[in-house]
Amino acid sequence: MRIINRKPSRVTSVALTALPFAATIGAYALASHYRRLENPADKLLPSLQQMGETFWRMAFVPDRRSGDLLLWLDTYDSLWRLGMGMGVATILALSLGVLIGFIPHARSALAPYIATFSLIPPITILPILFIMFGLGETSKVMLIVIGTAPVMIRSVSQEVMNIPRELIIKAETLGASVMQMIFRVVLPQTLPRLVNAMRLGLVPAWIFLISAEAIASTSGLGYRIFLVRRYLAMDVILPYVVWITLLAFIIDRLLLLLSKRAFPWHHLGGESL
Amino acid sequence: MSATPKISVRNVAKTYGHMTVLERVNLEVEEGAFCTIVGASGCGKSTFLRMLLSQETPSSGRIELDGAPLPGEPTPDRGIVFQKYSVFSHLTVEDNLILAREFERSRLLGRSFGKGRKAARAEINDTLEKIGLGAARLKYPAQLSGGMQQRLAIAQALLKRPKVLLLDEPFGALDPGIRADMHELLLGLWEELAMTVFMVTHDIREAFKLGTRILVFDKIRHDPQAPDAYGATITYDLPLNRKDAGPPPELAGLAVNADTSTGASA
């Protein structure tokens, strides 16, 4: 049988999923082992055990200077900024996206403006934000908003425009007003795709979060990584990178789960990533 | 029957840029007629239907409904069934059918809750049974067969008791057997509700079986140097007697053409 028609069994599927992860960890362990054979104090590729111990210390042993559990403090601060940034970006995307996608006058007024705005590299705005809002939380949240909102707005407005015109006309013949169409047709048809836009927006959101924290912050996952970089503390950096990846993965899966729970009609046809 | 025709079309033309799709279309349709519209692919019959719906406006000429100019946008006095995307994919069968009622009762959000919604859902029990979707009331359209979806679409289009029902190849994607059932349903509703119906179809037998009047769209003027210069118009406008269903001799050739056409939407 051709390979495109052969489906892996459940066990094979799990094994295939685990394979590249296991191979990466194995390759790392091997490289680390040989480096430490030559120099037991090697800092670049610490052993898995050493990283585990450091991670444990970051998570469960209070910091000697501040008395905080650093991992949880960093995670909380970073997720708070990410959540605020994504929340504001999502509200902007939904409101402006529906306006642009649904109302031709709003489209003429806003679409070219947003398209222009989205071309500004967000990181170049960071100094302006620091000058305007100071080095506090506002400028970091704003950077995430500026970095993700324009793309999300464009994505949502495109999705609104992609709603089959037949549905809008049908709603008109059923006597719907513009508001009623927005609440009963446009928003329900767009929300599952908004979740998709959020999942895609999370990628740049994490980049801008870590960047902002690296440049000016006193807490957060990005701050910690760039702080310990000075001491070549790979045993902190690598677990933090894995931790950030895990958080991003969990958020992505939660959004997918939310979409499947809240919009079952959207997932009736075919599988999706 | 009133003196003013239900729909009157006066010298209507539709052009897109340099392309003329329809020209010199004149028509008067009395109330209660069942007009079937046939013609080759791309001859503008769907465009004509969209103009009756106010989805598009004529480039010149005018269309009147009950003697008054047609509104500039789709309104509840004209119901529509499309071939695809006719029902709301995000609503269950019963919620598709109570939507019009919800629009009436909740002016801002168009959504009813609790008791109001329960009552609205109870109101549509008869309709559900009539279209044979009683058992499927909690399903989403994507879980229904094509025939069930179109039955739902027809029922939904009739919720506002439109005076004119427009059908754009509504059964184009259905199996022949299911089509016959749909014809029965549609004719029953047409007689019961005394509507004026316009139905675009590719199936000439269907056109003769259902219509009280058949309109054939075709191009009569051709310019070999500029194929887009002239548009189609109504070339045949025949009253039909349902008893002797079947194309008359002069349209027999057309029937063959229409049967072999691709079925693509014009």
The ipTM assigned to this model is 0.84
Measured in residues, chain A has a length of 273
User: If we measure between CA atoms, which residue out of B133, B229, B161, B154 comes closest to residue B199?
Assistant: B154
How far is residue B146's CA from residue B169's CA, in Å, rounded to a whole number?
A: 13
Could you tell me which CATH number the domain at A68-262 has?
Answer: 1.10.3720.10
- Residue A207, judged by CB atoms within 10 A of its CB (0-12, 13-18, 19+), counts as middle
Instruction: Say what the pLDDT of residue B75 is.
Output: 92
Winning range, highest mean pLDDT, from A58-67, A238-247, A259-268, B151-160: A238-247
Q: For the domain covering B7-77+162-260, report its CATH number.
A: 3.40.50.300
Q: How confident is the model at residue A271 (pLDDT cuts 50, 70, 90)?
A: low
Please report, as a single letter, which amino acid is at residue A268.
Answer: L
Instruction: Say how far apart CA B10 and CA A83 lie, in whole Å.
Output: 60
pTM over 0.95? The answer is: no
> Which positions in chain A have a beta carbon within 8 angstroms of at least one beta carbon in chain B?
164-167, 169-177, 179-181, 183-185, 188-189, 263-266, 268-269
- The CA-to-CA distance between both ends of chain A, in Å, stands at 25
**Beta strands at B164-168 and B78-81: parallel, antiparallel or unpaired:** parallel
- Cβ contacts of B80 on chain A, cutoff 8 Å: 169-170, 173
Please provide the average confidence, as pLDDT, over all residues in chain A: 92
Structure tokens at A20: 């590249």
Is a pLDDT exceeding 50 seen at residue B266? no
CA-CA distance, A29 to A35, in Å (whole number)? 10
> Stretch A74-85: mean pLDDT, rounded?
95
On the 0-12 / 13-18 / 19+ scale of CB atoms within 10 A, A182 is buried
Q: Report whether pLDDT(B201) > 80.
A: yes
Q: Answer yes or no: are the C-beta atoms of A107 and A100 closer than 8 Å.
A: yes
Q: Do A176 and B103 touch (CB under 8 A)?
A: yes
Model confidence at B89: pLDDT above 80: yes
pLDDT band for position B259 (50/70/90)?
Answer: very low
Listed residue (B194, B233, B93) closest to B150, CA to CA: B93
Three-state SS across B122-151? HHCHHHHHHCCCHHHCCCCHHHCCHHHHHH
* Token pair belonging to B68: 């008054």
CA dihedral A164, A168, A169, A175 (to 10 degrees): 160
At position B95, the amino acid (one-letter code) is D
A153-195 pLDDT, tens digit each: 999 999 999 999 999 999 999 999 999 999 999 999 999 989 9
Residues of A in contact with B110 (CB under 8 A): 176-177, 179-181, 183-184
Residue A71 pLDDT more than 80? yes
A120-141 pLDDT, tens digit each: 998 898 889 999 988 888 999 9
From residue A73, alpha-carbon distances to A205, A220, A236 in Å are 19, 7, 15
CA distance to partner chain B, nearest, from residue A173 (Å)? 4
Burial (Cβ within 10 Å: 0-12, 13-18, ≥19) of residue A59: middle
Single out the residue of B187, B248, B205 nearest to residue B38, CA to CA: B205
Tokens 């791309």 sit at which residue?
A: B42
- Between residues A11 and B18, the one the model is more confident about: A11
Residue B249's pLDDT is: 52
Interface size between A and B, measured as CB pairs under 8 A: 91
Q: How far apart are CA B137 and CA B93, in angstroms?
A: 5
Length of chain B: 266
pLDDT the model gives residue A112: 95
Question: Mean of the pLDDT values across residues A37-65?
Answer: 90
Q: What is the pLDDT of residue B258?
A: 44
Residue A187, exposed/middle/buried by CB under 10 A (0-12, 13-18, 19+)?
middle
Kindly report the backbone phi and psi dihedral angles of residue B234, in degrees, each rounded to the nearest multiple of 5, phi listed first.
-80, 115
* B35 vs B109, residue with greater confidence: B35
Taken in order B36, B38, B44, B47, the sign of the CA dihedral is positive
Query: Other C-beta atoms within 10 Å of A249: how many?
Result: 10
How do the domains of chain B map onto residue ranges? 7-77+162-260
Contact status, residue B92 vs residue B109, Cβ threshold 8 Å: no
Q: Is pLDDT of B191 > 70?
A: yes
Decide: B166 and B78 in contact? Cβ < 8 Å: yes
Choose the mutation target among B70, B84, B85 for the interface with A, i.e. most A CBs under 10 Å. B85
